[in-house]
Amino acid sequence: MNTAGHSQATAPRGLELTPFRGLRYDPDRVGSLAAVTSPPYDVVVRPDGLHQLQDADPYNIVRLILPQATTAGERNEQAADTLRRWLAEGVLTADPEPALYVYEQRHADGMLQRGLIGTLRVSGPSEGVVLPHEDVMPHIVADRAALMRATCANLEPLLLTYRGAGAGAAARVVDEATTRPPLLSTTTLDGYAHRLWSVTDPDDLAAVRSDLARHQALIADGHHRWATYRRLRAEHPSPSPWDHGLVLLVDTARYPLRVRAIHRLLHGLPVADALTAVRDHFRVRRLDVPLAEALDALADAACAGNAFLLAGDGAFHLLDRPDPALLARTVPADRPAAWRTLDATVLHATLLDHLWHVPEDDPARIAYIHDTAATVDKAERDGGTAVLLHPVREEVVRDLARQGVTMPRKSTSFGPKPASGLVLRALDL
């Protein structure tokens, strides 16, 4: 988002993206680069997806971002030991000089995304440089912070977007890099082809820095990791390596992202009980159709107002037309109308809090899952309730963020997300 019209008090420094010595897998030491990658830690469907990734290659990045042990302390120490071992064995090696990295994702369906990976100066909300649009869960921030402290590393980049008007020095540097042979090229099981280039020329780096200094960014994916960066920066006297955090920065004027919903899996709440609690307050319709058709019905209903799709008992149940009086009683009135009418707002304030009494930050009661079919499958296996949402439009997200209004946690899923494992950052290099 261009901030040329903003005052210096709003964004005194703008985006500061700096080069770093990336840690990358030695392709001769692993089965394949695709086999060592993973989706971001919060997208991995557990336990099935986790086990598949662990089995894909003994060096899969999931062993660092989601270590498995009995206690949190043991998990973090295991990740730190694994990282030290891989570095000692040469499985991961540091590039010889600091660089920004041009990262490309391409899919056969026509999706093309390019951006810059670097370390971004960590700033607070009052600076207006990096805009969050979702709330975070304190226990997840604490978990990520403990892992970063133990490993002294940023193990995966978060995803930020800015509006560069499709031109400028950063766009030129990205385009020129992609004319050269890449550092790496691989295609992952999801059909995405990934390529990475390094940018080390001092003039190019200076041009990118000057260009980005005029912009602010929206957090597209990685609110908990950004909050973790801020916590760790506060713990270490400046200047220190913790003043910066690993990000992928995408100009969505050139490469628009896709916005998808993040679904909920309610443990211990059978669909029958969930429906009983809502029948007097929502219109409920049973849909005995395949998932794709049920999602189409959800999209149609969402055009007229709040709508949700429940699953887990072999059918789909469409909830819409909530009782206006119930919404007036349960949805906070001190926010903009665009926030009060969000499906995620109604889900958390009305359904989870008021009707179902499910705490939104209790992992024993609720899980947040990006994959639609996986959410339904797990609900059917576990006897819980899947709550499927329709995605919110990107313009709504950006407008609320500009107003300083955060959406309910896990309201959106921007993509494509960067694959974890292609480039890491060790803070002691």
What is the pLDDT averaged over residues 372-383?
Answer: 96
Please report which helix (H) or strand (E) contains residue 363, including its range: none
How far is the C-alpha of 277 from the C-alpha of 267, rounded, in Å?
16
Residues for the chain: how many in total? 429
- Give 58's DSSP letter: T
Q: How many CB atoms lie within 10 A of CB 120?
A: 27
How far is the C-alpha of 401 from the C-alpha of 134, rounded, in Å?
9
Enumerate the domain spans of the chain: 17-257+415-426, 263-410
Given a cut of 50, is residue 1 above it in pLDDT?
no
| Residues 243-290: tens digit of each pLDDT | 999 999 999 999 999 889 999 999 999 999 999 999 999 999 999 999
Helix (H/G/I), strand (E/B), else coil: 124: coil
Confirm if 65 and 38 have CB atoms less than 8 A apart.
yes
Give pLDDT, residue 166: 67
Q: Give backbone dihedrals phi and psi of 105, rounded to 5 degrees, phi first.
A: -125, 130
pLDDT band at 412 (very low <50, low <70, confident <90, very high): confident
Confirm if 238 and 337 have CB atoms less than 8 A apart.
no
Q: How many CB atoms lie within 10 A of CB 240?
A: 12
Given a cut of 50, is residue 8 above it in pLDDT?
no
Nearest alpha carbon to residue 300 among 321, 282, 315: 321
HSE of 296 in the Cβ direction (CA atoms, 13 Å)? Answer: 6
| Residues 218-236: tens digit of each pLDDT | 999 999 999 999 999 999 9
Given a cut of 70, is residue 6 above it in pLDDT?
no
| Residues 319-371: tens digit of each pLDDT | 999 999 999 999 999 999 999 999 999 999 999 999 999 999 899 999 999 89
Give pLDDT, residue 156: 98
How far is the C-alpha of 31 from the C-alpha of 247, rounded, in Å?
27
Sheet holding 92-94, edge to edge: 92-94, 22-25, 424-426, 153-154
Q: Are strands 112-121 and 244-251 parallel, antiparallel or unpaired?
A: antiparallel
What is the pLDDT averaged over residues 158-179?
Answer: 92
Confirm if 427 and 242 have CB atoms less than 8 A apart.
yes
Percent of the chain with pLDDT over 90: 84
Q: How many CB atoms lie within 10 A of CB 191?
A: 11
Confirm if 131 and 160 have CB atoms less than 8 A apart.
no
Q: Give backbone dihedrals phi and psi of 317, rounded to 5 degrees, phi first.
A: -125, 115
Give pLDDT, residue 3: 40
How far is the C-alpha of 213 from the C-alpha of 157, rounded, in Å?
20
Give pLDDT, residue 10: 40
Distances in whole angstroms, Cα of residue 63 to Cα of each of 40, 56, 66, 67, 422:
12, 11, 6, 5, 14
Residue with tokens 């930050």: 361
Give pLDDT, residue 409: 83
Given a cut of 80, is residue 381 above it in pLDDT?
yes
Confirm if 91 and 26 have CB atoms less than 8 A apart.
yes
* Average pLDDT taken over every residue of the chain: 94
Between 158 and 11, the higher pLDDT residue: 158
Q: Are strands 184-187 and 193-199 parallel, antiparallel or unpaired?
A: antiparallel
